[in-house]
Amino acid sequence: MNILKRGLPTAIAVIAGLATLAGLLVFPDLSTLLLEWAAFLAAVALVAGILNLLAIHLRRTAGRNIYSLVLILGMLLVFGLAVTDALGLTEDGVGTVFNTVQVPLEAALAFFLLFGGIRLWQRQRSGWAFLFLLAILFFLVSQSPLPASVEELVSPVRSFIYDVLVTPGVRGLLLGISLGIITLSLRLLAGLERPYSS
């Protein structure tokens, strides 16, 4: 029974992984079929997660939890706008809601980072804390509307920072994530990693 409990999920994962790999390399139709199944299962899991979240917060509203009520109303609003967008009654209602929520949150994020940088500088006066605070201040100043004379001075520095420091850093992060995914995939295919049997 223990072999069945541990061996069956491992065998299914290895067979599915090898079939997907073979489909990507040799049989494109099989790969397309497996990817469609995976997309369908991901959509079902997403719907199940949303329904579970809704059920949990419906129970919490019975205890007069105002945050749960706000979350439920927000979910219903976005779902209603998605339905009206699909029926053609509204035009990009969901996009409007996301844009009106996302832009202020991005602005708030910059000020939260500034506040965090100031707190870090107060607690730990090190070179890294100073660099963090300087980067946040430069980001805030460079993204603000500036006079033309100041913009001419800031623009080359901003381009240098983005092209020489930020872009290679992002590429390094993506490369590390890719190598981690490849390593985990190989461990799953070899049956060394068993997240599904614990």
Percent of the chain residues past pLDDT 90, beyond the cut: 14
Within-domain flag for 64: yes
- As to burial, measured by CB atoms within 10 angstroms (0-12 exposed, 13-18 middle, 19+ buried), residue 102 is exposed
Within-domain flag for 153: no
**What's the pLDDT at 51?**
92
Structural domain harbouring 2: 1-91
Residue 159 token pair: 């381009």
Per DSSP, the chain holds a count of helices (H) and strands (E) of 7, 0
Phi, psi of 152 (to 5 degrees): -65, -30
* Most confident residue range from 86-90, 105-109, 147-151, 172-176: 172-176
pTM of the predicted model over 0.75: no
**What's the pLDDT at 43?**
95
What is the CB-side half-sphere exposure of residue 81 using CA atoms within 13 A? 13
- As to burial, measured by CB atoms within 10 angstroms (0-12 exposed, 13-18 middle, 19+ buried), residue 19 is middle
Res. 176: pLDDT tops 90? yes
First-to-last CA distance in the chain? Answer: 15
Res. 33: pLDDT tops 80? yes
Confidence of residue 47 (pLDDT cuts 50, 70, 90): very high
User: What mean pLDDT comes out for the span 170-188?
Assistant: 90
User: What mean pLDDT comes out for the span 99-124?
Assistant: 85
Within-domain flag for 118: no
Q: Which residue has the higher pLDDT, 58 or 9?
A: 58
Res. 197: pLDDT tops 80? no
- Number of folded domains in the chain? 1
Mean pLDDT of the chain: 84
